[in-house]
Structure 1
Amino acid sequence: MAQKINFEFSIQKYGPSEEREVISLFRDGILEHVYPAFFKAMSNLDHVGITLSISMAGYVLGGSSYFQALFFGFAWASLIYSCCHEIYNSYMLRRLSTDMADIESSYLDNPDNGFWVAEADVNGQTRVVGIMGVMGRSEEEHGERFDDWNGGVSGSEIAQDAVDGSFGEVRHLVVAFPWRRMQLGSQLTRKALEFCKERGFTRLAVDLSSPQTAAISMYRKLGFVQTASHGNTHGNKWFSKLARINAVHMEKTI
Structure 2
Amino acid sequence: MVQFSIREYRPSDQHVVMSLFKDGIFEHVYPAFFKAMSHPDHIGVALSISMAGYVLGGSSYFQALLFGSAWAGLIYYCCHDIYEGYMMRRQSADMADIQASYLENPDNGFWVAETDINGQSKVVGMVAVTGKSSELAQDAGDGSYGEMCHMVVAFSWRRKNLGSQLTRKALDFCKERGFGRLILDVSSPQTAAISLFEKAGFVQTSSHRNTHANRWFSNLARINQNINVKYKLEVVCEADV
Task: Give the TM-score band, short-chain normalised.
Answer: over 0.9
Aligned partner letter, 1:137:
K
2-structure distance, mates of 1:122, 1:74: 43
1-structure distance, mates of 2:43, 2:118: 46
Q: 1:54 touches 1:73 (CA, 8 Å); kept in 2?
A: yes
1:113-169 deviation digits (Å, cap 9, x = unpaired): 0000001122332111001000001112xx5xxxxxxxxxxxxxxx97741211000
Aligned partner letter, 1:13:
E
The one of 90, 95, 100 aligned to 2:95: 100
- Cα deviation for residue 179 of structure 1 reads 1.1
Q: 1:7 touches 1:179 (CA, 8 Å); kept in 2?
A: no
5 Å matches for 1:17-166? 17-140=12-135, 162-166=140-144
1:167-202 deviation digits (Å, cap 9, x = unpaired): 000010000011111111111011100000010100
Structure 1 portions without partners, runs of 5+: 1-5, 144-158
5 Å matches for 1:105-254? 105-140=100-135, 162-247=140-225, 248-253=229-234, 254=237
Task: Tell which deviates more after alignment, 107-116 or 120-129.
Answer: 120-129
1-structure distance, mates of 2:139, 2:132: 17
- Cα deviation for residue 33 of structure 1 reads 0.3
> How high is the TM-score relative to the length of structure 1?
0.89
Aligned residues: CA RMSD: 1.4
1-structure distance, mates of 2:178, 2:138: 21
Aligned partner letter, 1:183:
N
Task: Tell which deviates more after alignment, 102-111 or 45-54.
Answer: 45-54
> How high is the TM-score relative to the length of structure 2?
0.93
Q: Percent identity?
A: 69
- Cα deviation for residue 7 of structure 1 reads 2.8
Q: 1:59 touches 1:68 (CA, 8 Å); kept in 2?
A: yes
2-structure distance, mates of 1:205, 1:40: 25
Q: Secondary structure at the match of 1:115?
A: strand
Q: Secondary structure at the match of 1:230?
A: coil
Q: Secondary structure at the match of 2:184?
A: strand
2-structure distance, mates of 1:88, 1:113: 24
Structure 2 portions without partners, runs of 5+: none
Say how many residue pairs are matched: 232
Task: Tell which deviates more after alignment, 13-22 or 120-129.
Answer: 120-129
